[in-house]
A = this chain, B = another copy of it.
Amino acid sequence: MKERRTIRKYRQEDVPESLVEELLEVASRASNTGNMQLYSVVVTRDAGMKKQLDEAHFHQPMVTEAPVALTFCADANRFTKWAEAGKAEAGFDNLQMFIAATIDAMLFAEAFAEAAEERGLGLCFLGTTAYNAGEIVRVLRLPRLVMPILTATVGYPAEPLPELSDRLPLAAIIHKEHYKDYSPADIREYYKEKENLEINRYFVQLNQKDTLAQVYTDLRYPKANNERYSELLLQTLIGQGFLKGKP
C-alpha cells in the first residue's frame, strides 16, 4: 500500500466480469451506515456508453481506454423501495441521508480499490463525477435518490508505472486532541517539499505563475469554476430529491 499510484494507462487486456464481481463482493464487507448499504455501482464496459461517460468526464482518456469504468453512487432509492414494500416510510430524501450514503459509497469504493490493487489491477479515480453529476445521472439513468459520486477506471497497469506522487508530511494532516490551526511557518514547512519538486517548479514556470498555489487556484481549480459547478451540483441534488428546492 506504500507503493500505491494512480494508473492512467492500461494494458490491452480485459478485466473479467467474474473478477470485478469477486472484488465488489469483497468490498461490500466495508462498514456502512446501519448495514443499509446505501450505495450502488454502475459498471460500464460498452464502448458507446464509455463514449457518453467520457463527455461528462471532460474527455479524460482513461474512460474510453480502460476496459472497465465503475461509477460509485450514493443510493437511498433501494432502501426506500424496500421500505415501501414493507409498509414503512423511509424519509431518506434529505441531506443527512445523502451524506450517510456518500460515506457508504466512498468506503465501498476504497475497499474495492484496495482489493483490486491486491490482485494486480490499477485504478484511476475521477473526481469529475460530482462536477457533471447531472449529465451522469442522465447517461446512467439514475433514478431519484441516487447520486453519482466517484468514478474509477480499472485495468491492468501498462509499463512503465508512473512515478510515485508526493504527499504532505504526516504532521500536516494529524491533529492531536484539538485541531491546531496552521501558522504561516507551518504552511511553509509542510508545503516546502511539494513546492520544490522539479515537476512543480516546471509547472510554475511553464504557466508563468509566481507560486505553485497559483497554478492550482488560477488554472486547475479556479474559484469561478468551483462556484459554477457547485451551483450545478446543488441543482442535481435537488433534482435527485436529496435537498429541498430553494425558496
Q: Residues of A at under 8 Å CB distance from B? A: 1-4, 6, 21, 24-31, 33-37, 39-46, 49, 73, 77-79, 81-83, 85-92, 94-97, 99-100, 102-103, 106-107, 109-111, 113-115, 123-125, 127, 130-131, 140-143, 146, 149-150, 165-168, 170, 172-179, 181-182, 184, 187-188, 190-191, 210-214, 216-218, 220-224, 226-227, 229-230, 233-234, 246-247
Whether A109 and B107, one on each chain, are in contact in the complex, defined by CB atoms closer than 8 angstroms, is yes
**A127 nearest in chain B by CB position:** B33
Alpha-carbon separation in the docked complex, A99 to B43 (Å): 22
Cα-based distance from A109 to B106 in the complex (angstroms): 9
20 pairs, A vs B, C-beta closer than 8 Å: A2-B26, A42-B179, A43-B174, A43-B176, A44-B177, A73-B179, A82-B190, A83-B217, A85-B191, A88-B217, A92-B221, A94-B226, A94-B230, A96-B229, A99-B130, A106-B106, A110-B110, A111-B114, A146-B179, A246-B246
Total copies of the chain: 2
Chain B residues near A222 (CB, 8 Å)? 91
Q: Determine if B30 and A168 form an interchain contact, defined as CB atoms under 8 angstroms apart.
A: no
CB-defined contacts of A24 to chain B, threshold 8 Å? 170, 173-174
Instruction: Find chain B residues with CB under 8 A from A227 CB.
Output: 91, 94, 96
Which B residues lie within 8 Å of A188 (CB)? 85
- Partner of A110 from the list B102, B106, B213 (CB cut-off 8 Å) is B106
Q: Counting chain B CB atoms within 10 Å of each CB, which of A24, A165, A174 scores highest?
A: A174
Q: B49 and A86: CB pair below 8 A? A: no
Chain B min CB distance to A1 (Å): 5
The complex places the Cα of A11 from the Cα of B102 at a distance, in Å, of 31
How far is A127 from B212 in the complex, measured between Cα atoms in Å?
Answer: 36
CB within 8 Å for A226 and B96 given contacts A143-B181, A210-B86, A211-B88? yes
